[in-house]
């Protein structure tokens, strides 16, 4: 079933938005709990956590929405996936650490004398990837 089918349309729009918000967070949390790769699930929870209701409402207000338009926008956004570009975030391929645990380092290649950049994980102490 889809979120839009689970919302009680008899309720005021604000309450429908709250229902959609809570269902979305419930489904996101459950899908991360069911992921086989628990380290990646934990990393996703840190990178892209569920927003608190108050924070979501404030975010929509800051974008200029008020009244019914605000509640409709929350309902609509609750039915969409957030896209995370993991390619822009350094994640250790060994332990899935990210953020401050990953340090960008430069080294000079002996053969080409070109400087290459690579990531080193401060948690597992292994090199990430070069580019």
Ramachandran angles phi, psi of 12, nearest 5°: -60, 155
Burial degree of 88 (CB within 10 A; 0-12, 13-18, 19+): exposed
User: What count of other Cβ atoms lies within 10 Å of the Cβ of residue 49?
Assistant: 11
User: Could you read off the pLDDT of 34-71 as tens digits, one per residue?
Assistant: 888 788 788 788 878 899 999 999 999 999 999 999 99
What are the start-end ranges of the E strands in the chain?
A: 102-108, 115-121, 127-130
Per-residue pLDDT of 96-106, as tens digits, reads 666 555 555 55
- Segments making up each domain of the chain, as ranges: 3-84, 88-130
Distance CA 116, CA 102 (A): 16
This model's pTM is above 0.85: no
């Amino acid at each position: 079933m889809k979120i839009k089918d689970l919302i009680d349309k008899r309720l005021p729009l604000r309450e429908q938005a709250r229902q959609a918000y809570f269902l979305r967070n419930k489904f996101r949390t459950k899908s991360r709990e069911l992921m086989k790769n628990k380290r990646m699930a934990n990393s996703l929870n840190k990178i892209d956590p569920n927003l608190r209701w108050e924070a979501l409402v404030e975010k929509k207000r800051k974008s200029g929405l008020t009244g019914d338009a605000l509640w409709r926008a929350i309902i609509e956004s609750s039915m969409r996936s957030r896209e995370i570009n993991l390619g822009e975030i350094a994640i250790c391929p060994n332990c899935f650490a990210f953020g401050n645990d990953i340090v960008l380092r430069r080294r000079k290649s002996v053969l080409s004398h070109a400087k290459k950049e690579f990531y080193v994980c401060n948690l597992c102490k292994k090199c990430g990837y070069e580019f």
